[in-house]
Chain A
Amino acid sequence: MIMSAYELSLIAIVSINVMLALSLNIITGLCGQVSLGHAAFFGAGAYTCGVLAGLGVPMYATMAAAAVVAGLLGFLVGLASLRVREDFLAITTMGVGFVFVGFVRKQNWLGAEMGLSNIPDHGLGETGFVVLCIALVVLMSLLTIYVKHSWLGFGFTAVADDEDTTRTLGLDVASYKLTAFVLGTLLAGVAGTLYAYFTRFLVPGAFGFGISISILAMVIVGGVGSVWGVIIAAVTLTLLPEFIRVVNDYKIFIYGLLLLLTMRFLPGGLADLARRRHLLFGYKRSG
């Protein structure tokens, strides 16, 4: 064993958050649909996995089922995104998040307030599980980069930039939006599976509004649409509270303040920082 259990669990948490950020990046970053309820899809995946795993279903099957359930829910919300736009959509997705948590809280078969706790071990061992997490992060990163540079990605960018013009040009805006929602929520469902096996204990509060906000914060601090920016932001924002544990009592205060200051002084996110440096060096060289 090269790494301690603490370090391994940290890697697992970081991986899960990177996956969540990447999955939301498809919806919000690439396709421009702001979602304030992404934790609901994460939760739908986690609970699907939790219930099935409790019945003895093996991991690959629970993961597939979780992705399907989250993706279906994403399809429904995607349909809603065809009705409402921009700020209305943001609040609708926020509503979806609250309805999900409020529903789970009252379901005894999902453990209600007490939580779902009979999730079996994944059987991969600590190191094996972390390897799986990292492998999935790499896969999702490659998938996102591929999508971004495919025709699908160009369609997403067009929808994000100007929906009406895209429609005028004859592109099917509705199917692009639905694809973005299904793809993004499906991947959130996969992240939910890993979370369920990782904690082996699910409570509704773990998928609340605060989690949706922190996933969205990763995407926006990273710089919407930028795969690398989003990955770096997800890693940083996840580890930040660990690094500033010395000031434990102030860590959430500092987190909020950093969010505020990043947006105030770097509205384009980390990706913009890289772009600006590039411009700066380019200018110096030519001058």
Chain B
Amino acid sequence: MLYLELALQGLVNGSMYAVVAVGLTLIYGLLRILHVAHAGLFTLGAYTTVLLTNALGSLALGTAVSMLVVGLCGMVIYRLLYEPLLEQPPYVALIASIGLFISMEEGYRILFGPYGNSFSSAWLTARISLGPFNMAAADFAMLLGAVVLLVFLAALMSRTRLGMAWRATVTDAAMARSFGVDTIKVRYGIFFMASAFAAAAGSLVAVLNNLVEPTMGSVPSYKSLAIIVLGGLGNVGGTLLAALLLGVIEAFGTIYTGAYLDRDAIAFVFLIAVLMFRPEGLFTAK
């Protein structure tokens, strides 16, 4: 029973990682940029959702508006920060992104205070019994939310012309352009979608903990980098599997090796071990 509960807890965490990391890996595939500030947008999404929900009284409306606003912010970041740096060595954009992330975290602390905000009415505090499982409704919402978002993304990528253009651009931008794809539009589209997903993940975490804090993006900021590398940078399917796998490994690792290593270290020992045997990640991008 313990194993099942651990696995389930791992999947809940992993599904959150997946929703954050899937956008990050698309952006990497597109521009070869490690977009650390993505985690800043995750926090922005969480704050926007909490503040809007408290003002409007509807969680669904709050989350939708938050995804829209944060998606637009992602496009602005691409336009003002990354586009002028595309010709530079990759670490330039990396440091710029880290600088942006630091100021974002500090900005939230200055604007909203260091102690965090909560929903004024508690959402999803119930517990659900599903056969042998007894899980918090918020955990369930996280899993469900992640599944809905990822299925939506999979459908978009595989069934629509837009998704086809996105995949073509991520695989080979020059070739896509010669086939008439407007690759600049694709970049804006991917930044919008990736950032909206980050906002959705932030909102789900806000519901899960009923708390948003200025530093809530710290863990996703580096954990999602580990995940996209494990998944084979730029590989969407690999990233999803890596996210779920890492969530489960952390859940079990914390119980069995918690005396020697902390949670982050377990994740990274796994990452390093994998990279030594498969230097291009678990699932190599084709």
Q: Which residues of A contact B (CB under 8 A)?
A: 28, 34, 80, 83-88, 90-92, 94-96, 98-99, 101-103, 105-106, 209, 213, 216-217, 220-221, 224, 249-250, 252-253, 255-264, 267
Contact = CB atoms under 8 A, between A and B. Distances in A.
A94 B225 contact: yes
A84 B106 contact: no
A87 B92 contact: no
A163 to B, nearest CB: 14
A87 B90 contact: yes
A255 B105 CA distance: 12
Q: Which of A85, A213, A253, A264 has the most CB of B within 10 A?
A: A264
A88 B98 contact: no
A259 B36 CA distance: 14
Given A87-B233, A103-B261, A209-B222, A252 B102 contact: yes
A52 B281 CA distance: 39
A260 B100 contact: yes
Interface stretch (B7-15, B80-88, B156-164): B80-88
Contacts of A250: 106, 110
Q: 10 tightest A-B contacts by CB?
A: A102-B265, A259-B99, A256-B102, A256-B103, A95-B268, A260-B99, A263-B96, A253-B106, A102-B262, A267-B88
Given A262-B99, A263-B95, 8 more contacts: A80-B272, A88-B280, A90-B34, A92-B272, A94-B268, A101-B265, A256-B99, A256-B105
Contacts of B34: 87, 90-91
Given A83-B279, A88-B275, A91-B229, A256 B100 contact: yes
Contact of B103 (A28, A84, A260): A260
A235 to B, nearest CB: 18
24 contacts: A87-B229, A88-B279, A90-B34, A90-B91, A95-B268, A95-B269, A96-B272, A98-B267, A99-B269, A101-B262, A101-B264, A102-B264, A102-B268, A103-B261, A106-B260, A217-B95, A250-B110, A257-B103, A259-B95, A260-B81, A260-B96, A260-B103, A263-B99, A264-B81
B226 interface: yes
B271 interface: yes
Contacts, number: 138
A106 B102 contact: no
A103 B260 contact: yes
A217 B92 CA distance: 10
Contacts of A262: 99
Interface string B249-286: 00000000001111111111101100110011100000
Tell me the interface secondary structure of chain A in the complex.
helix
Contacts of B233: 87-88
Contacts of B275: 80, 83-84, 88, 92
Contact of B222 (A87, A98, A253): A98
A26 B107 CA distance: 34
A64 to B, nearest CB: 28
Contacts of B92: 220, 263, 267
Contacts of B259: 106
Nearest to B87: A267
Given A84-B275, A102-B265, A249-B110, A256 B95 contact: no
B106 A256 contact: yes
Nearest to B264: A98
Contacts of B110: 249-250, 253
Contacts of A261: 99
Given A80-B272, A102-B265, A264-B85, A88 B103 contact: no
B50 interface: no
Nearest to B262: A102
Contacts of B146: none
Given A87-B233, A106-B261, A267-B88, A252 B106 contact: yes
B101 interface: yes
Contacts of A103: 260-261, 265
Given A88-B280, A220-B91, A95 B260 contact: no
Contacts of B91: 28, 34, 90, 216, 220, 224
Nearest to A250: B110
Q: Which of A92, A95, A262 has the most CB of B within 10 A?
A: A95
Contact of B229 (A88, A102, A249): A88
